[in-house]
Structure 1
Amino acid sequence: MKRISILALTSLMIVGQVKAQINQNAASQNTRITAGGNDHYTFPMSDKVIRQAVTFKNRYGITIAADLYLPKNRGSETLAALAVSGPYGAVKEQSSGLYAQTLAERGFVTLAFDPSYTGESGGEPRNVASPDINTEDFSAAVDYLGLHSIVDRSRIGIIGICGFAGMALNAVAVDKRVKAVATTSMYDMSRVMAKGYFDNMTSEQRTSTLEILSQQRWADAGKGEPAPATNNLPEKLSGNEPQFVVDYFNYYKTPRGFHRRSINSNGAWTATNALSFMNMPLLTYLHEISPRPVLLIAGQKAHSRYFSEDAYKAAAGPKELVIIPNASHVDLYDQTDIIPFDKLTVFFEEHLTAGKPAQKEKAAALGSANGK
């Protein structure tokens, strides 16, 4: 793997200004006007679930837009629930919605949300990420789920995909209401931005990057608005790109995964987006998730695999690392024959049981039936 600077990192994963404007006056915990049915989703709607468009506010007062998935045949009992977000630069109509819908088919109440400053969620300026605020977004999703009438608030878990896996782990470390967490194709965005891929960024490269970003702040302040990053996914492949860039392109820039509100499909992060990540390590308190369980899933061929492996080493308490044979990083976004949904189902049924032995037996039986 070639050395890749933080500026190059920006070019590999991301994309400009999101055109859709968000209604900042949306009432907290209301249904959005779009009702979740009038927009493009990158996966077909299941006839086994109900999808509801909802909004809620995070601790900073930012309105978060989400899709709530409810099993149709759910009976009268309260259910375990999962908050889902990611990948980094994606929206709820893409991978996180697919995960949420599939797990709702399996009996969970699920919530796929757009992080602050992206998609249909609020926050200005647009196309900004924050290790703090995006961590808070997960806890705000837990707030919402815990107030829902059909959710058992003692049985809430989190799934983070790609760059939002790091934020998910960070949220669970501090938010003791969450009982279990799983990640797929994990990125630690603070680590890769601060140190480069495989920690190959030199101190001189880091200093140079921070010099450039610091000067950019004056340029932004002078114009009264942040400049977009100039590097992003190409509109066409030249044939010289690393394979993982090709994989990103084949998801975000083709009908397979394109969405007009996705930063990676149709825009760019701000030029100074990396600053807070370079200064605030996300996984400092990873060990404090213990004794709650952690499940880390990565592709065998994923360029990002080492993030999951290192997180597994650093985590304390119950933990499991699952490597999917021959899978790439992006395969775990949407390839339903590769994503280990059986494993995720068993994991959350086992650890979100709230002392219900019948559900533990069901989880064990499902795992046995699927050879997991």
Structure 2
Amino acid sequence: MPLHANSLTFSLAPEVTRTPVRYRNRYGIEIAADLYVATDLDESVPHPAIVIGPPYGGVKEQGPGVYGNELARRGFVAVAFDPSYNGESGGQPRHVSSPDIFAEDFSAGVDYLGTLPYVDRELIGAIGICGSGGFALNAAQVDPRIKAVATSAMYDISRVTRNGWRDSQSDEERRAGLEGIATQRWADVDAGEPALTPVFPHDFKPESLDPVTAEFHEYYVTDRGHHPRSVGGFTVTSMLSHINLGALAHLQDIAPRPILLITGENAHSRYFSDTVYEQAAEPKELVVVPGARHIDLYDRTDLIPFDKLESFFTENLAPVASTDRVPSHART
């Protein structure tokens, strides 16, 4: 049976409450998100909170909800969002991809969490899954309100767009790609709407696909992770922003705030996490999950190291005693 648009791809824990929320980023785009809290959360005291972004092409009802559900069970306030132009979030034209705006969406999540009287504004972290891993790091580079950042099965979308898979693209190939996008812009002008990169098909046919694409389709096309708002395609001309502006150029600026990088032993994307780990300043940690593939870190709760995520955020989102601080619950 086809999944209803308002359905989750996982089971909500009975001790967790999920509430749809809306707020705007600094570009004025309305962000659609789900707030996850423990049903018995004591709202009279401030709590640590986490903003969670989806895999590239994914929506909040998939991986972010899996993480939000589990972290809420462990006492965190969590908000899982749809990126601008995608899912239920606003923005026209649909399915634009922007490294700047997608990073801003994390900061907008921090803005929202900071309005909740039971969230401590000094104790907010971020998790980026797959492509959102790069965007979460981009946000943390310039937003010191993100006190700790974790990535899971990280993809650096801008890096692969500019340099090709495993940095295999030559300068000549890059220039040819720009010529192709320029041609597509004229086609978009003439058509009156932008063309999309390939979207997810209706049927899972792994025998006709390369291994990486087959793995993504195993999640997004089958009942395992399919959601009607997760279409997979982005406007072709979105690639220009990634090529020109999307580099993780300031990783060192995240320090002394901590970075946790989670990847799978068998993840095709592992090299992204390895590279960031090499380039980032301390404190940083790389966790390699034995036997895990890339997509397994979207939803396999038996493989996702939630104990590690809990300890990482508990340690790094711990209250600092100070007579100068005003508790969040005292704000009006």
**Normalised TM-score (structure 2):** 0.92
Equivalent residue pairs, number: 316
Residue 5 of structure 2 contacts residue 229 of structure 2 at CA under 8 Å; is this kept in 1? no
Query: Which residue of 2 is the match for residue 342 of structure 1?
Result: 307
Instruction: Write the distance in 1 (CA, Å) between the matches of 2:310 and 2:303.
Output: 14
Do the aligned partners of residues 51 and 262 (structure 1) sit closer, same or farther apart at CA in structure 2, a change above 3 Å counting? Answer: same
Q: Please state how far the C-alpha of 1:281 moved relative to its aligned partner.
A: 3.2
Instruction: Write the distance in 1 (CA, Å) between the matches of 2:214 and 2:183.
Output: 32
Query: Which residue of 1 is the match for residue 297 of structure 2?
Result: 332
Query: Which residue of 1 is the match for residue 17 of structure 2?
Result: 50
Q: Please state how far the C-alpha of 1:248 moved relative to its aligned partner.
A: 0.8
Query: Which residue of 1 is the match for residue 36 of structure 2?
Result: 69
Instruction: Write the distance in 2 (CA, Å) between the matches of 1:51 and 1:134.
Output: 23
Query: Which residue of 1 is the match for residue 328 of structure 2?
Result: none
Query: Which residue of 2 is the match for residue 321 of structure 1?
Result: 286
Do the aligned partners of residues 323 and 238 (structure 1) sit closer, same or farther apart at CA in structure 2, a change above 3 Å counting? Answer: closer
Q: Verify: 1:142 aligned to 2:110, yes or no.
A: yes
Q: Could you list the runs of 5+ residues in structure 1 that have no partner in the other structure?
A: 1-36, 357-372
Residue 67 of structure 1 contacts residue 113 of structure 1 at CA under 8 Å; is this kept in 2? yes
Q: Verify: 1:99 aligned to 2:64, yes or no.
A: no
Which of 73, 76, 91 matches 1:123?
A: 91
Q: Please state how far the C-alpha of 1:238 moved relative to its aligned partner.
A: 5.2
Query: Which residue of 2 is the match for residue 215 of structure 1?
Result: 183
Residue 86 of structure 2 contacts residue 95 of structure 2 at CA under 8 Å; is this kept in 1? yes
Instruction: Write the distance in 2 (CA, Å) between the matches of 1:161 and 1:47.
Output: 24
* One-letter identity of the residue aligned with 1:175: D
Q: Please state how far the C-alpha of 1:240 moved relative to its aligned partner.
A: 4.2
Q: Could you list the runs of 5+ residues in structure 2 that have no partner in the other structure?
A: 322-332
Query: Which residue of 2 is the match for residue 359 of structure 1?
Result: none
Query: Which residue of 1 is the match for residue 78 of structure 2?
Result: 110
Which of 268, 271, 274 matches 2:239?
A: 274
Instruction: Write the distance in 2 (CA, Å) between the matches of 1:133 and 1:251.
Output: 26
Q: Please state how far the C-alpha of 1:179 moved relative to its aligned partner.
A: 0.6
Query: Which residue of 1 is the match for residue 46 of structure 2?
Result: 78
Q: Please state how far the C-alpha of 1:236 moved relative to its aligned partner.
A: 3.7
Q: Please state how far the C-alpha of 1:282 moved relative to its aligned partner.
A: 3.0
Query: Which residue of 2 is the match for residue 304 of structure 1?
Result: 269
1:110 aligned counterpart, secondary structure? strand
Do the aligned partners of residues 38 and 305 (structure 1) sit closer, same or farther apart at CA in structure 2, a change above 3 Å counting? Answer: closer
* One-letter identity of the residue aligned with 1:45: L
Which of 144, 152, 157 matches 1:184?
A: 152
State which drifts further: 78-87 or 273-282: 273-282
Instruction: Write the distance in 2 (CA, Å) between the matches of 1:113 and 1:145.
Output: 12
Structure 1 residue runs of 4 or more that deviate by more than 6 Å after TM superposition: none
Query: Which residue of 1 is the match for residue 137 of structure 2?
Result: 169
Instruction: Write the distance in 2 (CA, Å) between the matches of 1:238 and 1:250.
Output: 8
Residue 200 of structure 2 contacts residue 231 of structure 2 at CA under 8 Å; is this kept in 1? no
Instruction: Write the distance in 1 (CA, Å) between the matches of 2:252 and 2:265.
Output: 25
Q: Please state how far the C-alpha of 1:176 moved relative to its aligned partner.
A: 0.7
Q: Verify: 1:206 aligned to 2:174, yes or no.
A: yes
Which of 353, 360, 369 matches 2:318?
A: 353
**Normalised TM-score (structure 1):** 0.83
Instruction: Write the distance in 1 (CA, Å) between the matches of 2:298 and 2:245.
Output: 27
Do the aligned partners of residues 325 and 270 (structure 1) sit closer, same or farther apart at CA in structure 2, a change above 3 Å counting? Answer: same
Give the percent of matched residue pairs that are identical in Structure 1 and Structure 2: 52
Q: CA RMSD in A?
A: 1.4
1:272 aligned counterpart, secondary structure? helix
List aligned pairs for 1:232-243, cutoff 5 A: 232-234=199-201, 235-237=203-205, 239-243=207-211
2:182 aligned counterpart, secondary structure? helix
* One-letter identity of the residue aligned with 1:160: G
Query: Which residue of 1 is the match for residue 161 of structure 2?
Result: 193
Q: Please state how far the C-alpha of 1:263 moved relative to its aligned partner.
A: 1.9
Query: Which residue of 1 is the match for residue 229 of structure 2?
Result: 261
Query: Which residue of 2 is the match for residue 5 of structure 1?
Result: none
Q: Please state how far the C-alpha of 1:323 moved relative to its aligned partner.
A: 0.6
The C-alpha deviation readout for 1:215-256, integer Å capped at 9, x for no partner, is 111111122211122x34443425142322221111000111
2:13 aligned counterpart, secondary structure? coil
Residue 233 of structure 1 contacts residue 249 of structure 1 at CA under 8 Å; is this kept in 2? yes
Q: Please state how far the C-alpha of 1:271 moved relative to its aligned partner.
A: 2.0
State which drifts further: 322-331 or 238-247: 238-247
Residue 180 of structure 1 contacts residue 348 of structure 1 at CA under 8 Å; is this kept in 2? yes
Residue 167 of structure 1 contacts residue 282 of structure 1 at CA under 8 Å; is this kept in 2? no
* One-letter identity of the residue aligned with 2:280: A
1:274 aligned counterpart, secondary structure? helix
